[in-house]
C-alpha cells in the first residue's frame, strides 16, 4: 500500500478493524471505516482541516474512533485532550466537541491521550497511545519517541505504519471525571477603562491586555486600502 499525501483519495489498500485483543490482520477486501468514514475520506479531511496529512492527527482519529465506540452513540459526550499537538483536531473533526462550543478542554501535558465522557453522569473512557504496543511497529515507536530524524522516516512510510497499526497500539480504561467537567462561563462583563473593549470583570479593574499581559502591541500604521470601512474606527 502506498499512501500519497497529495492524493489521499487514491489509497487503494483497505484494512478491517478487529477487536483490540486480537492480532492485527493483513489487508482485507472489506474496507475499514474509522469514525464512520472510509480511510481515503479521513485522509482528505485531515489534509483539508489541518493543512497537511499529519501522522499524529491520523493516529488521533483511531483514538477518537475507539473512544466513540466505547462510550456509545447515544451519549452526549464532552472531551478532554492531554496535548496541544494534533490530537485536539481529531476530536474537533470527528466529534461535536470543539474549543468554540466549550465541549473540548485541552491540557498542556503533552501526553497522547484523550477522554470522552458523558456530561450528565461524568463517566466515560480514556484512550491513550500505549508505547509497549508500539514496539511491534518500530517506525511508529521511533517517530513518537523521536529516535530517528524526519529525513530517515518518510511521511508515506509513517502513514502506512499508522494505518497498519490502527487501534492495535492503543489502550483504554473507564474513568469518572473529578475535575475539568464544568463549563466555563463569562460571568459579569464590563468595559475596560483603557481600551474601551468589553471584558470579564474577573480579570480585574482592567482587561488582561491593558494590565501589561497582552500578546501583541498595536502599531500606528494605516490599514491596507482594501480594508473594510470602519474596521479601524
**How does pLDDT run across 60-82, given as a tens digit for each residue?**
999 999 999 999 999 999 999 99
**Within the chain, which residue ranges are assigned CATH 3.30.1330.130?**
8-176
Give the other-Cβ count within 10 Å of 95's Cβ: 19
Average pLDDT over residues 18-31: 41
Residue pair 92/100 in contact by the 8 Å Cβ criterion: no
DSSP string, 125-147: EEEEE-HHHHTTSHHHHHHHTT-
- Residue 2: DSSP 8-state: -
126 pLDDT exceeds 90?
A: yes
Q: Could you give phi then psi for residue 10, rounded to 5 degrees?
A: -90, 5
Grid coordinates 462510550 are at which residue?
A: 71
Share of the chain above pLDDT 70, in %: 84
Q: CA–CA separation, 85 vs 67, rounded Å? A: 18
Residue 185: band (very low, low, confident or very high) from pLDDT cuts 50, 70, 90: confident
Average pLDDT over residues 120-140: 97
Residue pair 56/75 in contact by the 8 Å Cβ criterion: no
Q: CA–CA separation, 164 vs 39, rounded Å? A: 12
Q: CA–CA separation, 140 vs 128, rounded Å? A: 14
| CATH class of the domain at 8-176 | alpha beta
pTM for the predicted model, two decimal places = 0.81
- Residue 96: DSSP 8-state: S
C-alpha cell at 91: 476530536
Among residues 1, 60, 68, 59, which one has the least CA distance to residue 28? 1
- Residue 137: DSSP 8-state: S
Q: CA–CA separation, 59 vs 87, rounded Å? A: 8
Q: CA–CA separation, 195 vs 209, rounded Å? A: 9
Half-sphere exposure of 35 (CA within 13 A, CB side): 23
Residue pair 68/96 in contact by the 8 Å Cβ criterion: no
30 pLDDT exceeds 50?
A: no
- Strand, helix or coil for residue 118: strand
Give the lowest-confidence range in 10-19, 41-50, 87-96, 180-189: 10-19
The pLDDT of residue 229 is 65
Amino acid at each position: 500500500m502506498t499512501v500519497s499525501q497529495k492524493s489521499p483519495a487514491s489509497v487503494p489498500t483497505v484494512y478491517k478493524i478487529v477487536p483490540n485483543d486480537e492480532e492485527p490482520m493483513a489487508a482485507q477486501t472489506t474496507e475499514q471505516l474509522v469514525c464512520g468514514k472510509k480511510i481515503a475520506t479521513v485522509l482528505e479531511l485531515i489534509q483539508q482541516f489541518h493543512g497537511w496529512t499529519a501522522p499524529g492527527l491520523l493516529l488521533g482519529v483511531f483514538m477518537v474512533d475507539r473512544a466513540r465506540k466505547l462510550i456509545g452513540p447515544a451519549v452526549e459526550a464532552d472531551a478532554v485532550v492531554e496535548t496541544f499537538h494534533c490530537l485536539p483536531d481529531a476530536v474537533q473533526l470527528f466529534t461535536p466537541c470543539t474549543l468554540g462550543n466549550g465541549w473540548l478542554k485541552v491540557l498542556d501535558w503533552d501526553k497522547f491521550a484523550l477522554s470522552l465522557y458523558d456530561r450528565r453522569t461524568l463517566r466515560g473512557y480514556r484512550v491513550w497511545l500505549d508505547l509497549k504496543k508500539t514496539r511491534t511497529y518500530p517506525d511508529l515507536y521511533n517517530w513518537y519517541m523521536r529516535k530517528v530524524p524526519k529525513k530517515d522516516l518518510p511521511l508515506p512510510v509513517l502513514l502506512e505504519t499508522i494505518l497498519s497499526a490502527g487501534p492495535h497500539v492503543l489502550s483504554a480504561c473507564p474513568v469518572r471525571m473529578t475535575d475539568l467537567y464544568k463549563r466555563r462561563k463569562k460571568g459579569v462583563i464590563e468595559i475596560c477603562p483603557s481600551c474601551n473593549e468589553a471584558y470579564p470583570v474577573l480579570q480585574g479593574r482592567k482587561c488582561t491586555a491593558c494590565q501589561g499581559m497582552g500578546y501583541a502591541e498595536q502599531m500606528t500604521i494605516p490599514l491596507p486600502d482594501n480594508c473594510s470601512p470602519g474596521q479601524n474606527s
